[in-house]
Amino acid sequence: LLPAPAMAARDTSFEESLAVDLKELGLFKGVSDTDFALGRAPTRVEALVMLIRVLGQEEEALNGSWSHPFVDVPSWADRYVGYAYENGLTNGISANQFGTSNATAQMYLTFVLRGLGYSDQDGLDFTYSDPYTLSGQVGILPEGVDLKSFWRADVVLVSYAALSACLKNTVQSLADKLIQEGVFTQTQFDTYYSDMDIIVMKNYLVNIYTMKFHTFFCSITENINPAHMKIVTKTRDEMISMGYSP
């Protein structure tokens, strides 16, 4: 038997454009000046650093003296992890291990919810096992986020959406807070941010044989021949205009 063809690679061009906007606002960096490395999973440390940046707290983190109990943190990330630990953004995977594995959607959504002022301690606002419900309610979980194969591209989607989310028990958005703190100006925000980007864009799984498109976690996708699969990031209307039907 011949092996089944691999599924088409995910198109991250949309997330790339959002990453550029976040970079212009000083909230995101790549692995180099020209590479955001969106097509791979973030490590736990990378995800935490991305969180601190999108919260506008990188300068404070790097300029402070912080401590943490973890023995597996690389030296370059000590201040980031110390800052996050002392400010209740992370607990690590054990008393003395931060964790060197890749970050998951569960982890990053938990980080962002904590950054917005919500608490999973004793299940106050949400639980670590289920950050998804509250994330959807507060608007930080766009439908394009891949909860199964969480990439740096998904970090960008969640981070971008978080800017329009309100801090707990307030009507102040994260973006408003960052403008107030001088992280970027209102003019810069208006230039580089559009919440419509998050609202209308979505990843669809396309069956190129039947010309049907499905949301990424639709149960019917499990029965599609991998040779007929294609991942497309478009609006619903664009999918229909291209000849596909839901």
Q: What is the DSSP string of 74-130?
A: -GGGHHHHHHHHHTTS---SSSS----SB--HHHHHHHHHHHTT---GGGSS-BTTB
| Spatial separation of the C-alpha atoms in residues 101 and 98, rounded to whole Å | 9
| Spatial separation of the C-alpha atoms in residues 221 and 237, rounded to whole Å | 20
**Predicted TM-score of the model (pTM):** 0.77
Question: What is the CB neighbour count within 10 angstroms for residue 133?
Answer: 11
Per-residue pLDDT of the chain (246 residues; tens, 9 = 90+): 545 445 457 889 889 999 999 999 999 999 888 899 999 999 999 999 999 999 999 999 999 999 999 999 999 999 999 999 999 999 889 999 999 999 999 999 999 999 999 999 999 999 999 999 999 888 898 878 999 999 999 999 999 999 989 999 998 999 999 999 999 999 999 999 987 666 545 556 677 778 887 654 454 555 667 676 676 666 667 778 888 887
Sheet of 229-234, strand order:
212-215, 202-207, 229-234
Pairing mode, strands 202-207 and 212-215: antiparallel
Question: What is the CB neighbour count within 10 angstroms for residue 171?
Answer: 7
What is the C-alpha radius of gyration for the chain, rounded to an integer number of angstroms? 19
